[in-house]
A and B are shown apart, each in its own frame.
Chain A
């Protein structure tokens, strides 16, 4: 059974940093593109970032480019999102998602909540 377990969320002041983690199990992690998708309270889904299976290619939404960095450790089956220069508008539930053969998402974690507030 595929499991994705996010951690690392919390309350942070504007301008601060957080590092999210996503522990994956139940599939060959190193074979799949992985992603972060966020959902602000009461709002829709927003794609944040993708990383290919080897970690050699990364993609970002314009809203986070230059502030967020996605990475992965295929030895530890873990996905990361380093978030710097956080803003109030980054407040959201951050989901880790596994891509299928292309970038549709066939499995999602439960999410970790990031709140940016003073």
Chain B
């Protein structure tokens, strides 16, 4: 099975900061990588799929990059409403796997 490793597991940043979260796959997953945001007590929501395609309605301050084994989620200017846990997901065939999550705090 492909393991997805996110780093850091948590971070604290200020409003307006640029935030970068990384996700590393134990084997290449091409660009079959999605990112989700889960706010406290809420349901996960899709931010990005195909490594860099922004889901409709997601603010443009979110961006994704990478292919193969190394991926990045960037928040260009952190906003208070971005406080959440972020998960990457590999969908390069079953079993699908999620990263352990990155908790972003202010």
Name A's B-contacting residues (CB within 8 A): 37, 44-47, 50, 59-62, 95, 100, 102-106, 108-111
Does B46 reach chain A (CB closer than 8 Å)? Answer: yes
Residue in B46, B49, B98 whose beta carbon sits within 8 Å of that of A45 in the complex: B98
Does B55 reach chain A (CB closer than 8 Å)? Answer: yes
* Pair B43/A109 contact, Cβ less than 8 Å: yes
Q: Could you name 27 residue pairs across A and B whose Cβ atoms are closer than 8 Å?
A: A37-B44, A44-B99, A44-B100, A45-B38, A45-B89, A45-B101, A47-B97, A47-B98, A50-B94, A59-B94, A59-B95, A60-B94, A61-B95, A62-B1, A95-B43, A102-B32, A103-B91, A103-B96, A104-B49, A104-B91, A105-B36, A105-B46, A106-B46, A106-B49, A108-B43, A108-B44, A111-B43
Provided the pairs A44-B87, A62-B1, A95-B43 are in contact, do residues A100 and B98 lie with their beta carbons within 8 angstroms?
Answer: no
Greatest chain A CB density within 10 A among B38, B46, B95 is at B95
Give the chain A neighbours of B34 by CB distance below 8 A: 104-105
Does B45 reach chain A (CB closer than 8 Å)? Answer: yes
Give the chain A neighbours of B46 by CB distance below 8 A: 100, 104-106
Question: Nearest chain B CB to A58's CB is how many angstroms away?
Answer: 9
Q: State the interface size on chain B (CB cutoff 8 A).
A: 23
Residue in A45, A60, A106 whose beta carbon sits within 8 Å of that of B87 in the complex: A45
Q: Complex Cα distance A100/B94, Å?
A: 16
Residue in A46, A62, A109, A111 whose beta carbon sits within 8 Å of that of B98 in the complex: A46
Q: Complex Cα distance A32/B101, Å?
A: 27
Q: Complex Cα distance A109/B42, Å?
A: 10
Give the chain B neighbours of A62 by CB distance below 8 A: 1, 95
Question: Nearest chain B CB to A102's CB is how many angstroms away?
Answer: 6
* Pair A102/B91 contact, Cβ less than 8 Å: yes
